[in-house]
Chain A
Amino acid sequence: MLFHKYWLETRTRFYIGILVISALCLFFVLGQPWILKQWALDEIRDPNIYNPPWIIRAKNDFTFFIWRFLYNNLLQLAWVLLTIMLAIGGISQELEKGTSLFTLSLPVTRFKLFSLRILVGFLEAVALALLPVIIVPLFSALIGQDYSFLVAVNHAVLFITGGLVFYSLGILINTLIKSEATAFFISLGMVIVYYFLFQPYSEGMHEPRLLKYFDLPAIIGGNGGKAELTSLNLVPFVSCCVVSFLLLLISYYFVKNQDFNDK
């Protein structure tokens, strides 16, 4: 029953996620021929136009094109924001809505309330990460392009791995801050700052070794769309899981010891 409650609480955000992810994937997959045409027209209009190396590669490599526009760009950012949106809620924020006492009067431990809420949000996030696995290869075939199903799966795994950290961070912020709106905007601000800090490195700037371990956008993005499941790097995978686990553990510590009183 708790699963159903949490599903009802989060389903609108999940549906929004489906719409956003589908729209982005469809736009860049089905729009690829149109974008290439625009680039060609630009070159006709101005033969001396400067094309950065990634455009030259994207013209000839569809997998790279998808990676550059989706997995390492808009789709990634949208997905991170969606994981943060899915982290909103939970028993701590029910205090503000006035329903926490009803929920806590049920014969259920706080651990169960906390973990089931996290599980529902996480499963929704996983479903959203898996959506491009279907959309991208399928619609690529419609425009005569070949997109490897395995590469799509690999990106989904990377999304889930890196996204888990943002999701867990979202859970922690939502546990500490009782207002949903405030928690969301703080999480949003943190994501923006995070992506702003790591932006130069995604544009090719040399990244100090220490920073590489914290470069979640790079972990989520993968290596230029060429990665296969077999080449999945275990170090970032394990470190993301450990960091997420620790963030969730801290969140649970606060939930376990929280007083549900408005005084």
Chain B
Amino acid sequence: MNDYVISSSDLTKQYGSFKAVDQLDLQVPKGSICGFLGQNGAGKSTTIKMLLGMVKPTSGSGSVLGFDIEEEKSSLEIRKRVAYVAEDKRLYDYMTVAQILNFTRPFFGAWDKDLERHLLDEFKLPINRSIKKLSKGMRTQLALVLGICRNTEILILDEPSEGLDPVNNEKVLKLLVGLASDGKTIFFSSHNVFEVEQVSDYIIMIHKGRLVESKSLEQLKEDNKIIKCLYSEKHNLDLKSLKAAKSVKSDPNSVLVFADGDKSALLDILKQSHPSSVEVINLSLKDIFLENLKALESHVIS
């Protein structure tokens, strides 16, 4: 996992005093399906736009497939090799589905016509219908067709499932897995943590523009756990001794510790407080995401 196709160092975007992205160090492994998680306004879209030359970074650097994101010539090379489906799926209203496909195809030499036919058929997109008459879901499907068929090394998708019904959402997720198995890298942001967990093998979490986690899904789940201690009597645990924890919730008869990485030291401290039971609970990606957010918001994190 040392081969990264997207990387950034101290990448920052500042609007006045507001930092949309704050010293972000990003690394997306080649061939992965990388889920990019964060709340609304966390800086996901701004990060993606910086990677593609649509927004200029205030400071820091970044590269995609080895091309510098700030140089105009490099940015052009990036866009030849990276397909992007934006969060805003509005397309040219004055074109029909066929016209926009005919318009986009010549820009990409490796355009996959067979995949285009397959997807048009799969999504049942009306080829001669004006884009302004398409439903929101159909527009999302068309935007995905226009992105995926570019047949590029990397696919960056910003909220790809927005507006899709569950059936078509499932089709898209399967398609992403198929593309990754062909060696393509998928970097996608989503609010839907469940679907991210379903298909991703690598997770990047950001909060208020800062990196929170960047690990394989497996490693993330291995590292992020809750230790639950129950006490038959009121415990006398000094919570300050749990500095290594990301967050701690305590009431007289229980202590819940959200911890990352090696937990043996924490377990030793907890066991010294003589709990009646100690349980290490595995977490879903959703729980890990929410616990991290809670920890960051409550500033309990050390």
Query: Are B15 and A263 interface neighbours, CB within 8 A?
Result: yes
Residues of chain B contacted by A257 (CB below 8 angstroms): 56
Q: How many residues of A contact B (CB 8 A)?
A: 23
**Contacts A102-B143, A105-B84, A260-B49 known; A8 to B94 CB distance under 8 Å?**
yes
Tell me if A228 counts as interface (CB < 8 A to partner B). Answer: no
- Which residues does chain A contribute within 8 Å of B83, judged by CB atoms? 105
Chain A's closest residue to B57 (CB) is A259
A98, A108, A260, A261: most-surrounded residue (chain B CB, <10 A): A261
A91-104 near B? 1/0 per residue, CB < 8 Å:
00000011111101
Closest chain-B Cβ to A253's Cβ sits at a distance in Å of 13
Given the known A-B contacts A5-B103, A104-B53, are A263 and B46 also in contact in the complex, defined by CB atoms under 8 Å? Answer: yes
Q: Are B94 and A9 in contact (CB under 8 A)?
A: yes
Cross-chain pair count, CB within 8 angstroms: 74
Q: Which residues of A contact B53 (CB under 8 A)?
A: 104
- B52 A109 Cβ-Cβ under 8 A: no
**Scoring B residues 49 to 73 as 1 if CB is less than 8 Å from chain A, else 0, what string do you get?**
1001111100000000000000010
Asked if A260 contacts B103 (CB within 8 A), the reply is no
Q: List chain A residues, Cβ under 8 A from B54.
A: 100-101, 104, 259-261
A-side contacts of B92, CB under 8 Å: 5, 8-9, 99, 102
Q: Which of A46-98 contact B (CB under 8 A)?
A: 97-98
State the Cβ distance, B41 to closest chain A Cβ, in Å: 9
Task: Count B interface residues, CB 8 Å.
Answer: 35
Contact with A along B79-113 (1 / 0, CB 8 A): 11001101010111111000100111011100000
Residue of A97, A98, A102, A263 with most chain B CB atoms under a 10 A cut-off: A102
Q: Which of B20, B76, B84, B106 contacts A101 (CB 8 A)?
A: B84
Q: Which of B45, B76, B95, B146 is within 8 Å of A107, CB to CB? A: B76
In the assembled complex, the Cα of A5 lies from the Cα of B92 at a distance in Å of: 9
Partner of B79, one of A8, A97, A98, A106: A106
Chain A residues within 8 Å of B49, by CB: 101, 259-261
Nearest chain A CB to B86's CB is how many angstroms away?
4
Q: Is the CB of B88 within 8 A of A107?
A: no
A104 touching B76, Cβ below 8 Å: no
Q: Specify which chain B residues have a CB less than 8 angstroms from the CB of A4 in the assembled complex.
A: 103
Whether A234 sits at the interface, judged by CB under 8 Å, is no
Chain A 179-212, CB within 8 Å of chain B: the 1/0 string? Answer: 0000000000000000000000000000000000
Question: A235 interface residue, CB < 8 Å from B?
Answer: no
Contact B107 A107 (CB under 8 A): yes
B88–A106 contact, CB under 8 A?
Answer: no
A1 within 8 A of B: yes
Q: Is the CB of B103 within 8 A of A261?
A: no
B15 contacts across to A, CB distance below 8 A:
263
Supposing A1-B103, A1-B106 touch, asked if A104 and B52 sit within 8 A by C-beta, the answer is yes
C-alpha spacing A263/B108, complex, angstroms? 30
Interface hits, B28-51 → A, CB 8 Å: 45-46, 49
Is the Cβ of A98 less than 8 Å from the Cβ of B88? Answer: yes
Are A108 and B20 in touch, CB under 8 angstroms?
A: no
Tell me the complex Cα distance, A57–B241, Å: 102
Instruction: Tell me which residues across on chain A come within 8 A of B20, comparing CB atoms.
Output: 261, 263
Identity of the chain B residue whose Cβ is nearest the Cβ of A256 in the assembled complex: B72
Q: A257 to B52: give the CA distance in the assembly, Å.
A: 14
Of A4, A107, A110, most buried by chain B (CB within 10 Å of CB) is A107
Q: What residues of chain A lie closer than 8 Å to B79, measured between beta carbons?
A: 105-108
**Which residues on A sit within 8 Å (CB–CB) of B45?**
261
| B101–chain A nearest beta-carbon distance, Å | 11
Contact A259 B55 (CB under 8 A): yes
**B103 to chain A: which residues have CB within 8 Å?**
1, 4-5
What is the chain A residue whose CB lies nearest that of B79? A107
Contacting residues, chain A, for B99 (C-beta < 8 A) = 8
- Report the bound CA distance from A9 to B49 in whole Å: 25
Residues of chain B within 8 A of A98, CB atoms compared: 88, 90
A101 and B107 contacting across the interface, CB-CB below 8 Å: no
Closest Cβ of chain A: how far from B107's Cβ, in Å? Answer: 5
Q: Is the CB of B107 within 8 A of A106?
A: yes
Task: Tell me the complex Cα distance, A87–B91, Å.
Answer: 21
> Which of these, B76, B91, B106, contacts A102 with CB under 8 Å?
B91
Identify the B interface with A (CB < 8 A): 15, 20, 45-46, 49, 52-56, 72, 76-77, 79-80, 83-84, 86, 88, 90-95, 99, 102-104, 106-108, 143, 146-147
16 other A-B residue contacts (CB within 8 Å) besides A8-B94, A9-B92: A5-B103, A101-B84, A105-B83, A106-B104, A107-B108, A108-B79, A108-B107, A109-B72, A109-B76, A257-B56, A259-B55, A260-B49, A260-B55, A261-B54, A263-B15, A263-B20
Closest 10 CB pairs of A and B: A98-B90, A101-B86, A105-B84, A107-B80, A107-B79, A260-B54, A98-B88, A259-B55, A261-B55, A104-B54
